[in-house]
Amino acid sequence: MFETVPSPVTIPFRRVGFVSTRFAGTDGVSFEAGKWTRIFEAEGAACFWFAGQLEAPPESSYLVPEAFFNHPDVLEIQAGLFGTTERTPEIERRVESMAGRLKAALRDFIERFGIDLLVVENALAIPMHIPFGLALAEVIGETKIPTIAHHHDFAWERERFTVNDAADYFGAAFPPRLSNIVHVVINSLQKAALAERCGLDAVVIPNVLDFDVPPPELDAYARSFRSEIGVPRDATLVLQPTRIVARKGIAHSVELVRRLADRRAVLVLSHPAGDEGWDYLAEVEGRILEAGIPAIFLSGRVGQTRGTTADGGKIYTLADIYPQADLVTYPSSWEGFGNALLEAVSFGRPVLVNAYPVYRSDIAPAGLRVVEMDGRVTDEVVAEVRRVLDDRQMQSDWARENFAIGRRHFSMALARERLRGILTGLRQPLASSRAGG
């Protein structure tokens, strides 16, 4: 994800600093950041990383545990700002103190690595870490460093941020209004909302994949996956390739697998819970128990790279798992875009998609061939799933058509072109700010 690829510099920035709360694991933000780093490195820039959790080479990393949104001190501060309308002076003091420490660390990161462009991944959009957002906004404003704020999720897209006493913090940093920031969003609905709510323009760069590179063939290591996790060869493997959070709609996947019991369907959940608390994991476990379906939680068995768990089990990558899924379920009620959907398409797998708003506005018009549901697993949906599972020719036709659509509409080439335009536009602010600095 974070390998450096030397190349002649073809953009006006040589040392790019990626900043977020986390660059680790299999979440969408980390994946998208990894894709952007490959674009920057192919253009000849060196990339460096600042976060509270990191899976990057030590020589190009700046790890600050307090920058992680699940750091115990951060969780306490967030609890004093959300779900309440009366924050205390003590919480304000803690916000200010932590923001000061993070601000000093960010300045040191920029100086230590000679950063001339910041790319902030989601930390100035969704307010999961108020002190970090404030620290970033102040550093960017004071240094005038050219910055791309890459927004994946906003506060208004998450119900849990509705009740708060943080309006002033939102106005200062989520997102900030600074002339040296270019705002990038991942869908057209966000672009419209950002303009209406904040008066800010944004460039749309959707989630992308490298559709110019075919997916790897299964090797002996990957072929052991089913037996390793206990899925029989003749079972229907239904893959839910998302984190376990409420908006992912996993209850729909449970219901589908229940209704596919005659096919010996098994639900495999690839990602962990915890990013938004543990209540939804308990709910999913309860639904699985009530439905009486076989389900396997792979948390700890899926990583960016292959490896071994503490007890000797194999760790697989998503590229090992996708080709072995008979069906991929993506029944989310809300997504910023749809990383897992594109991944399933790239591996040629049949997909069940709930028609969430961004899918309707930005993805469906491209013409992807999928099984669509509209908030419920109906008899018609189940029948369509059965039809595609039973028809190998349909699977092949859909896979071929979907890959071509992905290459045309959601490729790395599109992201590269739009990033080049942004970087060219940032060249003048860089020169003028440093001259007057």
When mean pLDDT is compared across 83-87, 159-163, 426-430, the lowest value belongs to 426-430
Single-letter residue type at 248: K
Number of helices and strands (H, E) in the chain?
Answer: 16, 17
Per-residue pLDDT band for 4 (boundaries 50, 70, 90) equals: very low
DSSP for residue 186: S
Strand 61-63 versus strand 53-54 pairing type? unpaired
pLDDT for residue 431? 40
Positions of E strands within 287-326: 295-297, 307-308, 314-315
Average confidence score pLDDT of the chain: 93
Q: Residue 305 and residue 320: Cα distance in Å, rounded?
A: 10
* Percentage of the chain lying above the pLDDT 70 cut: 95
What's the distance, Cα to Cα, between the start and end of the chain in Å? 35
Positions of E strands within 172-318: 181-185, 203-204, 236-240, 265-269, 295-297, 307-308, 314-315
Q: What is the pLDDT of residues 137-147, one digit of tens each?
A: 999 999 999 99
Backbone angles phi, psi at 292, to 5 degrees: 70, 35
Task: Answer yes or no: is pLDDT of 3 > 50.
Answer: no
Q: What is the pLDDT of residues 296-335, one digit of tens each?
A: 999 889 988 899 999 999 999 999 999 999 999 999 999 9
Q: What is the pLDDT of residues 356-378, one digit of tens each?
A: 999 999 999 999 999 999 999 99
- Judge whether 278 and 243 are in contact, CB under 8 Å: no
Shortest CA distance to 11 belongs to which of 426, 436, 431?
426
Per-residue pLDDT band for 11 (boundaries 50, 70, 90) equals: confident
Per-residue pLDDT band for 28 (boundaries 50, 70, 90) equals: confident
pLDDT for residue 427? 66
Is the full-model pTM beyond 0.75? Answer: yes
Per-residue pLDDT band for 8 (boundaries 50, 70, 90) equals: low
Q: What is the pLDDT of residues 188-227, one digit of tens each?
A: 999 999 999 999 999 999 999 999 888 888 999 999 999 9
What is the average per-residue pLDDT within 230-237? 95
Domains and CATH numbers, the chain: 15-208+412-431 (3.40.50.2000), 220-409 (3.40.50.2000)
- Judge whether 332 and 373 are in contact, CB under 8 Å: no
